[in-house]
Amino acid sequence: MTSEFHRENGMMEFTLDPNQRETKNSFKSLLDEVAVFGRTAVLRRQDDKSLLLVVFPKPPYPPQKIRTPLILLFATIIAVFADGFIRIYGYSDPQTPSIGMGNVILFALLYVAALLGILGVHEMGHKVASWVHKMKSSWPYFIPGIPSYLPTFGAVIRAADVPPNRDALFDLGFSGPIAGLVITVIVSVLAVFSAHLIPASSYAAGTSFGSLDYYTSLLLGALRPGQGNMVIGGALFQLLYFAYSLGFFVTFINLLPASQLDGGHIANSALSPRVHRILSYATVVVMFLIGLWLMAFLVLFMLSRAPSLRPLDDVSPLSNSRKIVFVLAWILAGLIGAFVIYSNPIFSLGLFRL
């Protein structure tokens, strides 16, 4: 430490030696110590000659009420159930000429469990990461959608605390997509096992999906081999296929390095603010080129209104293991885009291209 300054409102500033070898653990210990007194701190690099440590009173965070998240969850369940009911009511194919009302309701409930399971586990991944890094956060706020089009617009979690360092920021961003992806893959496996394999000669157009994305085709060949010249169908498969397709889409979008998306937090933890901003605008351009116009406008709006989230300790680097995972996350996004999103008939119909 080279100097100390006392500011208004109980704020204290310290100028530190920039050549300190260990800042990450020291800063985390400091946060625990000052938290007892209702304070927090930030660490920034001023220039090559000094680091700036600021300790200040922690802003109050009002208690979170569970009523609003529960109301939104109930509304989303109703919207997703209605969407499932609409999608399979009157469904038929050569192996199931008709399905009774009891199965319609059952399949719609399984659809609710699958889709909200994917989104819910995604958000709980964020919440677990928040708990691990001692960050307060709200319960998930689910957003109901429009039945027969898009039954839910996902969910969000409000964070009360800023991530303590780049490692925490990375974990906060990556935990959601990877947790949701695990459930998405499980749902896809269950969907393939639930499917009816219909001889192509008896397939009637419009009764089920006539084409599949590359991923589902590979999964079908691995789990149910020896079914040549067959078309996949079935009411339950149709619903689960839509659910896990949305799950892959959510994972893909949230791995892109743009603005306030999960992938933006991941990129923000590993890259400089300038590089991250360039990548955010590049992501917008890519979204426009592939037809995701609605998402492109949303990201562009966030870029104009919300600054990038920076950790309290913006000096300590991201851990080496997370740097490796950062590269793997981009590879994963590319694989999902190539094997699921690009060839998926749902997205090729322009579902998200308003």
Q: Which of 255, 281, 240, 45 is nearest to 170 (CA)?
A: 255
Cβ proximity of 242 and 212 under 8 Å = no
Q: Are strands 39-47 and 50-57 parallel, antiparallel or unpaired?
A: antiparallel
Q: Is 240 exposed, middle or buried (0-12, 13-18, 19+ CB in 10 A)?
A: buried
Cβ proximity of 191 and 215 under 8 Å = no
Distance CA(147)–CA(86), nearest Å, equals 8
Please give the pLDDT value at position 207: 41
Please give the pLDDT value at position 95: 62
Please give the pLDDT value at position 232: 73
Please give the pLDDT value at position 208: 42
Question: Which residue in the block uniquely carries the two structure tokens 């038929």?
Answer: 92
Residue 188 DSSP SS3: helix
Cβ proximity of 181 and 273 under 8 Å = no
At 338, give phi and psi (nearest 5°).
Answer: -75, -40
Please give the pLDDT value at position 350: 45
At 313, give phi and psi (nearest 5°).
Answer: -100, 100
Cβ proximity of 110 and 236 under 8 Å = yes
Please give the pLDDT value at position 213: 86
Please give the pLDDT value at position 259: 75
Angle at 339 (CA atoms; ends 336, 341), nearest 5 degrees: 65
Distance CA(255)–CA(262), nearest Å, equals 6
Q: Is 60 exposed, middle or buried (0-12, 13-18, 19+ CB in 10 A)?
A: exposed
Q: Which of 165, 169, 133, 134 is nearest to 317 (CA)?
A: 165
Distance CA(173)–CA(126), nearest Å, equals 7
The H-or-E segment that residue 144 falls in is strand 141-146
Cβ proximity of 112 and 187 under 8 Å = no
Residues (pLDDT < 50) of the chain are: 204-209, 349-354
Please give the pLDDT value at position 352: 44
Please give the pLDDT value at position 58: 85
